[in-house]
Amino acid sequence: MAKAKTKGKKKTTKNLPPAYEWEKELKKVKAPVYLLHGDEANFSHQAALWLQTKALGSGIPDFNLDRFDASEGQFSVSALLNALNTQPMMSDYRVVWVQAVEVLNKQAKPKLQGLLKYLEAPNPQTCLILEARERLDQSRALYKALAKSEGTYIREAGGMTPYQTETWLQVQAQGLGIKISSDALSLIQESGEGRLSEMKDTLSKLMLYIAPRVEVNVQDVTELLPEAKIQTTVWVLLDKLALKQTTEVISLAHSLLAQGQEVLGLIALVHKRLRELLAAKSVLQLGGGEALLAQSLKINGYAAKRVIQLAQDRRSLSARELAEGYLLIAWADRMLKGAKVDSAVLLEHVLLKLCTMKT
């Protein structure tokens, strides 16, 4: 393929994860070498698949496509070089696709000499796709050679905002032929903690779970995902804390532990929610709502809606009380991480103290 069109532009493009964006970007570029890496491995893989199809064109894959996995024991740089220097058969280009490039990037310079030399003058009839599952260390020899090479186009898939993730999930749901409420979609985000492949798998499972229905609601998500059930139970726990209902709070905490939630994880969840509630108090005082809170804290719509709703329903819960609760939970977190204490006993102690705390 021709040289990368990088003159006058940054060679590394970051944070363009939605498919329609990176597809437009890559259509403008023809390069003999592509490096796809970054925090969002799912998008790097999608881009690699798209590039493979684009570069092969009408060429027969059996004759013109070689795939390597640098994490496999039988992988060798010499075999890779042989593939790179093989001429295409009944096609304009050959495609050589290397996955797990982060493993290759960690190798010492002497082991990569042949590949580094190749990058100085890559075969114009070969499209080399280098796909990594993470952001590469830019201090290593391979990355430096790729950045220096005029024939290399580097694309870094950065992390997405909650809004971008929600948009991406909507596209994935449409592709599966299911309709999903915004609350259910945001709950999937909340439970998936930004892991795109996991959230995509969840949508596929939901499609099968609700069949023959096509509309997914919050109940479907909580029934299918243990994490989602835990998230919704934590919201109820917080409401009971605000109402000082000690018996219900302790019962819910025991229920969460029985569901498999670890004490440290539960402490962290409550800590996070208290911080969000404090922020929600400030947002409401400013006359703002869900959108402002989501933007300020970079949280998804479901979390913002629930926090604002809780802050509005429990207006008697003062900012001072929330701040003291936040500090108490932070103390418990430090105790669990640094001292030999009975975690279950400590959790009960903290929850009881939160329930009896004076406004």
165-195 pLDDT, tens per residue?
A: 888 888 889 989 999 988 888 888 888 766 7
Is the N-terminal amide bond of 212 cis, ω within 30° of 0? yes
The predicted pLDDT at position 9 comes to: 38
Residue 233: alpha-carbon gap to chain centroid: 24
The predicted pLDDT at position 193 comes to: 62
Q: How far apart are CA 45 and CA 130, in angstroms?
A: 10
Tokens 């003062």 belong to: 318
Tokens 């994935």 belong to: 172
Report which of residues 124 and 27 the model is more confident about: 124
The fold adopted by the segment(s) 226-352 is Zinc Finger, Delta Prime; domain 3 (1.20.272)
3-state SS class at 74: coil
The predicted pLDDT at position 231 comes to: 83
Is the pLDDT at 271 greater than 70? The verdict is yes
Is the pLDDT at 6 greater than 50? The verdict is no
pLDDT grade for 22, boundaries at 50, 70 and 90: low
The predicted pLDDT at position 213 comes to: 93
Report which of residues 36 and 91 the model is more confident about: 36
Lookup: tokens for 303: 């979390």
**182-192 and 301-313 helices, crossing angle to 10°:** 100
Tokens 């532009």 belong to: 9
Report which of residues 24 and 66 the model is more confident about: 66
Is the pLDDT at 13 greater than 50? The verdict is no
Is the pLDDT at 10 greater than 60? The verdict is no
Is 162-224 a CATH 1.10.8.60 domain? Answer: yes
The predicted pLDDT at position 112 comes to: 95
Of the listed ranges 13-22, 126-135, 251-260, 348-357, the one predicted with least confidence: 13-22
Is the pLDDT at 313 greater than 70? The verdict is yes
Q: Which long-range contacts (CB under 8 A, 24 or more apart) does 246-255 make?
A: 246/351, 246/352, 246/355, 246/356, 249/351, 249/354, 249/355, 250/348, 250/351, 250/352, 253/347, 253/348, 253/351
Which residue from 181, 241, 251, 247 is spatially nearest to 216, judged by alpha carbons? 181
Is the pLDDT at 67 greater than 60? The verdict is yes
Q: How far apart are CA 283 and CA 298, in angstroms?
A: 14
CATH of 12-157, one of 2.30.30.110, 3.30.9.60, 3.40.50.300, 3.75.10.20: 3.40.50.300
Give me the mean pLDDT over the 57-74 stretch: 88
Give me the mean pLDDT over the 336-355 stretch: 85
Q: Are 125 and 96 in contact (CB under 8 A)?
A: no
In sequence order, the β-bridge partners of residue 236 are none
235-267 confidence digits (pLDDT tens): 888 888 888 899 999 999 988 888 888 888 888
pLDDT grade for 230, boundaries at 50, 70 and 90: confident
**Domain assignments of the chain as residue spans, ordered by start:** 12-157, 162-224, 226-352
102-128 confidence digits (pLDDT tens): 999 999 999 999 999 999 999 999 999
Whether pTM > 0.75 for this model: the answer is: no
Is the pLDDT at 92 greater than 70? The verdict is yes
